[in-house]
Chain A
Amino acid sequence: MASIFDRMKKVRWDHYIDYILIAVFALVLTVLSMTGNLKNSSAIIVEKIAISMILAVSLSLVVGFLGELSLGHAGFMCVGAYIGGKLSIALVAAMGNTVFAVIISMLVGGLCAAACGFLVGLPALRLKGDYLAIVTLAFGEIVKVIFQQSATFGGNLGLGTPRYDKRSFFIIELITVIITLAAVQNLIRSKHGRAITAIRDNEIAAKATGINVTGYKLAAFMISSFFAGVAGVLFSFSNSTIQATKFGYNYSIEILVIIVLGGMGSLRGSLISAALITLLNEKLRTILTGDLAVMKDLVYAVVLIAVVIYNNAPALKSFRDKYNLRRVFDKIRNPKQDHAFVRDDDAAWDRVPTKIKMDELLSVDIVPGNEFTPDKPSKGGQ
């Protein structure tokens, strides 16, 4: 018994809290839905929130961690939605509207989007910053026009797709959110993730340190667009028609805004802001009708400008440092810690229950008699 408790104590809960919260949320909703207490409108809002979360997490990988600005994320979603939607029509006809149809469509739609991500990633190898941003924007618009005009995909009228059962689809979506989050989070916390962040921090140094910048950029673009494609497929299953105009530049910007407001490079922030903004959007849409609906956009715009200026203006830096929420929390939890230091993050690895012989892993032969002392470089060399 005690050992279980010990193990429980050793688990880094802050690594898993996001998954747990989403899972609990999903569970509660499932119970509500099974007992018939969940309104259809609420279920639909949850579906939308889940899609926003997947999009935010996947875009975060490229913008927050790789540091490349992408203005065409909705384009990848569009590819996933149309290809997955088209496939789902056939699948549903063949095997019924089941989870398997959803999963197969998700995989295929995601892979097609990833292939597009590869194509967009290619110019990324030569282009930088703003130029890359315009290429991603252009890609999004091209995809939109092609699907809008193509007769196979329904043309201007849009593509009619099978709608999954409203009462249970959000479960599939929330599970997908967890999978997406786990994949991106694990990637970020691995050596590959470090390489990606290194490219963001200093590309020249990254190259000189032996990082395959080309490969990692492509990989990040592909993984990000894979999940955007998955989100697109989910979108097609939660709507009875999909129209290309939905996936324009404005939608890409909306996702970008979500991750900027959530804090760049913070997946948890992206999740929270995806949930809040989507919820707010939906709620305001029902409250403010007619001409008042515009007020929503106005407030949105003002808040956006205010938040970005507050978070980024060099003049406000000292103010921010003083009243930073995270810092305040840290102070309460651990008042003595110097906050220039992050929490001891090797703790996670100290507790890995594998036995590794360090001598075999040490790659450098230390000359006998010259083992280093922990605190000072030895005087005078050998």
Chain B
Amino acid sequence: MKIIEIIISGLNIGVIYAMIALGYTMVYGIAKLLNFAHGDIIMVGGYAICVFCAMSGSRTFFFVSIVAAVIICTVLGIVVERVAYRPLRGATPIAVLITAIGISYLLQSLAQIIFGSAQRYVTVPDLGKIMIGSLGIKWSTIITLAASVIVMVSLSLFVKYSRIGRAMIAVSEDRGASQLMGINVNIIITITFAIGSALAALAGLFYLLQSPYITNTFGAMPGIKAFTAAVIGGIGSIPGAMIGSLVLGLIESICDTIVPIAPYKDAIEFSILIIILLVKPTGLLGKVRREKV
């Protein structure tokens, strides 16, 4: 029973990471930049839910707040891309990275100005538990798992079979060539940011379902962890991000249950990242890109 619990909680953390990691990995694959502000978009989504939930309290309004959070984050993602990243297209990666860090600071300090630095309680509805034998599973966990699976499957299908999805693959392979083939690269990158940010909003929601407290640095650690997961899976690869996240989630839940190593949880996860990268420098599913000599 214990093992099943560990696996379920691991999967729960894993799919949340996956939602965030997908945003990282898609943006990296298509726009070739590390969006370090991604974690803070989760935070914005969380605050959006927080505000809308506080405004009403009824359960139906909760769903409205989810939609609102997704829309706000999507718009935010698009705006950030437009204002901060588009002017830097073609600049050195490190400049883009620093801008991303600047955006991250900006969002965090804005959130602190508006909501204060104190932790806030978010009135997400308590969905209760379901008992299967002696095993108690939270409904929120089941919803999280189900929703993420649906999202991930539909995202994979979208990328594989839709026109826009195929354009995304083309842009990630060769931006210049796809531009010549008539793909509007700017729109594709905007769409990528929009999808990534929408997923981040959902990740924020799932986090709040787990523990309903939020601060302005709410997204920082999940952001870094999800980034780690994306790298473990091979950054730029969508299935890689999912696998990496699940691996990381399971490791985390295993570490949590073994008391003496629980405080070293983060260190263990990061060590595993380093080991995986040493063995396979492009992550589990990453493609080797050889520079042509």
Could you list which residues of chain A lie within 8 angstroms of chain B, going by C-beta atoms? 63, 69, 122-123, 126-131, 133-135, 137-139, 141-142, 145-146, 148-149, 204, 249, 253, 256-257, 260, 264, 291, 294-295, 297-298, 300-302, 304-305, 308-309, 311-316
A291 to B112, CA, bound (A): 9
With both beta carbons as reference points, the residue of chain A lying nearest to B110 in the complex is identified as A298
Chain B hits for A302, CB < 8 A: 102, 106
Q: Are B267 and A141 in contact (CB under 8 A)?
A: yes
Q: Which of B91, B92, B95, B113 contacts A294 (CB 8 A)?
A: B113
Using Cβ atoms and an 8 Å threshold, which residues of chain A touch B263? 145, 148-149
B84: CB under 8 A from chain A? yes
Q: Residues on B close to A: CB < 8 A?
A: 28, 34, 84, 87-95, 97-99, 101-103, 105-106, 108-110, 112-113, 116-117, 224, 227-228, 231, 235, 263-264, 266-267, 270-271, 273-274, 277-278, 281-283, 291, 293
How far is B291's CA from A302's CA once the two chains are assembled, in angstroms?
36
Whether A126 contacts B281 by the Cβ 8 Å rule is yes
Beyond A253-B101, A260-B98, A301-B106, whether A123 also contacts B277 by CB under 8 A is yes
Expressed in whole angstroms, the Cα–Cα distance for A122 and B224 within the complex equals 22
User: B93: which A residues are within 8 A, CB to CB?
Assistant: 69, 129-130
Smallest CB separation, B161 vs chain A (Å): 29
Contact residues in A for B116 (Cβ distance below 8 Å): 291
- Smallest beta-carbon distance A253→chain B, Å: 6
Name B28's closest neighbour in chain A (CB-CB): A130
Q: Given A63-B94, A123-B277, A139-B274, A130–B99 Cβ distance below 8 Å? A: no
Inter-chain contacts of A311 with B (CB < 8 A): 95
Nearest-Cβ distance from residue A319 to partner chain B, whole angstroms: 12
Q: Which A-chain residue is minimally distant from B283 (CB atoms)? A: A131
* A297:B88 contact, CB within 8 angstroms: no
Q: A131-B282, A141-B270, A145-B267 are in contact. Are A314 and B89 (CB under 8 A)?
A: yes
Residues of A within 8 A of B105 (CB): 297, 300-301, 304
> Which of A135, A253, A291 is within 8 Å of B274, CB to CB?
A135
The answer to whether A312 touches B34, judged by C-beta atoms less than 8 angstroms apart, is no
- B109/A309 in contact, CB under 8 A: no
B101 touches A304 (CB 8 A): yes
* Number of cross-chain contacts by CB at 8 Å: 131
For A130, give its contact among B34, B89, B106, B113 (CB under 8 Å).
Answer: B34
Query: Which chain A positions have C-beta within 8 A of B112?
Result: 294, 297
By a CB distance below 8 angstroms, the chain B residues around A123 are 274, 277-278
Q: How far is the CA of A14 from the CA of B189 in the complex (A)?
A: 46
| A297 adjacent to B34 (CB under 8 Å) | no
A131 x B101 contact (CB < 8 A): no
Q: List 29 A-B contacts (CB under 8 A).
A: A63-B94, A126-B278, A126-B281, A128-B281, A130-B28, A130-B34, A139-B270, A142-B271, A145-B263, A148-B263, A204-B291, A256-B101, A257-B101, A291-B113, A294-B113, A295-B109, A297-B112, A298-B109, A301-B102, A301-B103, A302-B106, A304-B105, A305-B84, A308-B95, A309-B87, A309-B88, A311-B95, A312-B95, A313-B91
- Minimum distance in angstroms from A260 CB to a CB of chain B: 5
Consensus secondary structure, chain B interface: helix
Known: A131-B281, A138-B273, A264-B94. 18 other contacts (CB 8 A): A122-B278, A123-B277, A126-B281, A134-B277, A138-B228, A141-B270, A145-B263, A149-B264, A297-B109, A298-B109, A298-B110, A300-B109, A304-B105, A305-B84, A305-B103, A312-B88, A314-B88, A314-B91
Chain B nearest CB from A170 CB (Å) reads 29
CA distance A125 to B93 in the complex (A): 20
Selected from A126, A148, A291, A309, the residue in CB contact (under 8 A) with B99 is: A309
Known: A69-B94, A138-B274, A305-B102. Is A131-B231 also a contact (CB below 8 A)? yes
Q: Give every chain B residue within 8 A of A122 (Cβ-Cβ).
A: 278
The verdict on A260 contacting B94 (CB below 8 Å), with A249-B224, A309-B88 known, is yes
Chain A residues, CB < 8 A from B109: 294-295, 297-298, 300-301
Minimum CB–CB distance for A348 against chain B, Å? 29
In the bound complex, how far is the Cα of B281 from the Cα of A238, in angstroms? 40
* Measured CA separation A260–B97 after assembly (Å): 11
Minimum CB–CB distance for A250 against chain B, Å: 8
Report whether A298 and B291 are in contact in the complex, using a CB–CB cutoff of 8 Å. Answer: no
Cβ A297 vs Cβ B267 within 8 A: no
Closest 3 CB pairs of A and B: A138-B270, A301-B105, A297-B109
A305-B102, A309-B88 known; A295-B267 Cβ under 8 A: no
What residues on A are CB-neighbors of B267 within 8 Å?
A: 141-142, 145-146
Give the complex CA separation of A302 and B107 in angstroms: 10
A245 to chain B minimum Cβ distance, whole angstroms, is 12
Measured between alpha carbons, how far is A148 from B264 in the docked complex, in Å? 9
Tell whether, in the assembled complex, residue A134 and residue B228 are in contact, meaning their CB atoms are under 8 Å apart: yes
Please give me the residue from chain B that is nearest to A260 by CB atom: B98
Query: How far is A142 from B272 in the complex, measured between Cα atoms in Å?
Result: 11
Contact A142 to B270, CB < 8 A, known contacts A126-B281, A149-B263, A304-B105: yes
Contacts of B273 in A (CB 8 A): 134-135, 138
* Residues in chain B near residue A126, CB distance under 8 A: 277-278, 281
List the B side residues contacting A63 at CB < 8 Å.
94
The answer to whether B99 touches A308, judged by C-beta atoms less than 8 angstroms apart, is yes
- Bound form: Cα–Cα A195–B93 in Å: 22
CB <8 Å contact, A135 and B101: no
